[in-house]
Chains A and B, each alone.
Chain A
Amino acid sequence: MTDRTDRAVPAAGPTDHEHGTPVGTDDHDVRNPTAAGPEPGGGRGRVTGVAALVEASAGGRSANGRSTGGRSTGAGSTKGRAVEGRRGGSRSRGGWTPWLYLAPALVVLGGLLVYPIYQLGLISFLQYTQAQVSGGQPTTFQGFGNYTTLFGDPEFWQVLLATVLFAGACVVSTLAVGCALAVLLTRVRALPRLALMLAALGAWATPAITGSTVWLFLFDPDFGPVNGVLGLGDHSWTYGRFSAFFLVLLEVVWCSFPFVMVTVYAGIRAVPTEVLEAAALDGASQWRIWRSVLTPILRPILTVVTIQSVIWDFKVFTQIYVMTNGGGIAGQNLVLNVYAYQKAFASSEYSLGSAIGVIMLLILLAITLVYLRLLRRQGEES
């Protein structure tokens, strides 16, 4: 959903591992980081399945026991396969039964996911404002009229640019902080590691909206501790365009770096220590080890966290809405998602809002395709 905590739960994270709490991810037997990607996110955690599918289609070797977001059932899977092989299947019976089981899911998804997507597209081609909603005027077909209006509006381009830059800055900062801290975690003993993990999990668990209010309070011009410590007097962080974006960025990074950190940390732990020791003995510096040894091995995991961050940061809503009070002074802090909301629900320009929604959908679809492609290629390589 909108919220940062869609990044969900650490606990649910290591979906792949039979052992291993998110905190003590010490002993993973991760053979294929892509498939085994420790996936702690909700919105963000949806990757495991993708990886599994890609793996299945690319290699055809995933077969029974490996990964689908579930677990590799060592003995269990072999046995299951044997049974299946022997008697082709209790599976094939059933006739209409599977459809009966699927019916509720299909009804819900059809009515509340597929149909709204169709509606979104439809509304974006209509003239649909308050007059049409209340039935005062008939709805008329506009063709690409709404899109032309939108593309002719300099504000739209400005918002689009701001969205891309803001999301980019968020992704880069989140990845940098997350990766750096993941490496740091491997350098320290249990106690500091536990402290940092717990703190990160706390930030992770915080709902987007409470995170936003807390960070606003921290940077409050009158009563916030930050201005007091920095001696900034009553400097307002939300007044200027860039400082407001910066403040939101801090909050976004704060609540999303734990996902990256835990995931990458688990990935590093899965790298055989011999490899790292050998590199260290050969005189490689920390940076060199990270760049030349770890990065190539971790690439699948890094791809996953990058794309997930991109997808998430691109559609950030709650933080911007709450922290800049609906898009900032004169809309200076609008991003696409908030822009669509304001167009639709504040100015009753439902069709324009829908057109923005369609554009967002297309952009994210493109990112998803790139993502699937990257994963598939990695599946073929490894």
Chain B
Amino acid sequence: MSSPGSVSSLSSDRPKANARRFVRRPWRLAAEASALVIAVAVAFPLYWMVLSAFRPAGEIESAEPRPWTLSPTLDSFRRVFEQQEFGRYFLNSLVVAGAVVVASVIIAFLAATAVTRFRFRFRTTLLIMFLVAQMVPVEALTIPLFFVMRDFGQLNTLGALILPHIAFSLPFAIWMLRGFVKAVPEALEEAAYLDGASRTRFMWQILFPLVFPGLVATSVFSFISAWNDFLFAKSFIISDTSQSTLPMALLVFYKPDDPDWGGVMAASTVMTIPVLIFFVLVQRRLVSGLGGAVKD
């Protein structure tokens, strides 16, 4: 990377720089205006989704849709939760995502500890394998997984969704947690042993809380991939609709010939909100975590 030192004398050329700043002001205003316009455009689909979810049916079907509504209603949500066992699908999705998060985070924590805190044969080989495993396009494995799940008797159960997602989140989770585990000073470990703590006790009572922010960060990835999964839900839950998750439920309202747009938008809103909440929650936690909770 180039060194900035050689140009520092130029940047102290105040008058010229100021002149430039004045010239550039209209440009900056134009840039800011376009940034705002683009922000509105980017946010528009989400706005439209929420708006349509709260609209009365008559307004949705109007030929000249207006970008606001004067009579918001919960009708669409009511329809969604009453007609199809939507609440159940919502729970199913939560169960799948929750199970994936908990299982993958614990398994990854153990594995990350093993590869950072121990030296053993094949350690590097294992690390490279975890890395390569991240690159495998899981979609291509739908067909063999279908048969694996059939042989395990897991088809049409939530297990068929939970198990593959645990497997697919692991390689990345291990890599990510590795950094967090590594950041905990080894002196701490020595001190714990000197104070008479067992290895297990050190793991769960000292290391685990210290890398917790990392666990949260990792869980985001697992949660999102499990929550949003559509392909597996579609392929593995073939006949027992009581085991469906949200993406499938959403499609119930979307019939290509005559979609119930109010219902689809309400269901979409319900499905999007947990992810947004998760983003917001985790963001704060993550920032504080990265801020150095584990510095000694």
**Is A184 an interface residue when CB atoms closer than 8 A count as contact?**
yes
**Is A230 an interface residue when CB atoms closer than 8 A count as contact?**
no
Given contacts A49-B131, A193-B35, A205-B276, A116 and B141 within 8 Å (CB-CB): yes
- Chain B residues, CB < 8 A from A98: 114-115, 117-118, 120, 123
How far is B4's CA from A297's CA once the two chains are assembled, in angstroms?
13
- Chain A residues, CB < 8 A from B199: 97
- Chain B residues, CB < 8 A from A18: 290-292
Which of B75-83, B84-92, B280-288 binds A? B280-288
- Chain B residues, CB < 8 A from A46: 134-135, 172, 175
- The answer on a CB contact under 8 Å between A200 and B45 is no
Task: Convert A215-238 into 0s and 1s, putting 1 for each residue whose CB lies closer than 8 angstroms to a CB of B.
Answer: 111101011110010000000000
A-B contact pairs, 25 of them (CB 8 A): A1-B168, A12-B220, A42-B221, A79-B185, A79-B296, A91-B186, A92-B118, A98-B117, A113-B133, A117-B141, A120-B140, A184-B31, A187-B28, A188-B28, A196-B42, A198-B43, A209-B250, A217-B52, A223-B261, A278-B4, A341-B142, A345-B235, A357-B140, A357-B143, A365-B135
A69: contacting residue among B4, B145, B176, CB under 8 A? B176
Given contacts A102-B126, A113-B133, A11 and B228 within 8 Å (CB-CB): no
**Is A60 an interface residue when CB atoms closer than 8 A count as contact?**
no
B200 to chain A, nearest CB (A): 10
Task: Convert A169-196 into 0s and 1s, putting 1 for each residue whose CB lies closer than 8 angstroms to a CB of B.
Answer: 0000000000001001101110011011
- The answer on a CB contact under 8 Å between A73 and B183 is yes
- The answer on a CB contact under 8 Å between B120 and A99 is yes
**Is A277 an interface residue when CB atoms closer than 8 A count as contact?**
yes
How far is B290's CA from A73's CA once the two chains are assembled, in angstroms?
10
- The answer on a CB contact under 8 Å between B61 and A3 is no
Given contacts A11-B217, A195-B39, A254-B45, A209 and B271 within 8 Å (CB-CB): yes
Given contacts A5-B224, A117-B136, A275 and B2 within 8 Å (CB-CB): yes
Query: Which A58-116 residues have a C-beta within 8 angstroms of B?
Result: 64, 67-71, 73, 75-77, 79-80, 83-84, 89-94, 97-99, 101-102, 104-105, 108-109, 111-113, 115-116
A279 to chain B, nearest CB (A): 9
Helix, strand, loop or mixed for chain B's interface?
helix
Given contacts A1-B168, A119-B147, A274 and B7 within 8 Å (CB-CB): yes
**Is B74 an interface residue when CB atoms closer than 8 A count as contact?**
no
Given contacts A73-B295, A192-B35, A202-B276, A4 and B228 within 8 Å (CB-CB): yes
B115 to chain A, nearest CB (A): 7
**Is B64 an interface residue when CB atoms closer than 8 A count as contact?**
yes
Given contacts A8-B220, A70-B214, A42 and B1 within 8 Å (CB-CB): no
- The answer on a CB contact under 8 Å between A12 and B272 is no
Question: In the complex, which residue of chain A has the Cβ closest to the Cβ of B118?
Answer: A98
Which 8 pairs across A and B sit closest by C-beta, in order of nearness? A70-B179, A11-B283, A119-B144, A112-B167, A3-B228, A278-B7, A101-B114, A49-B175
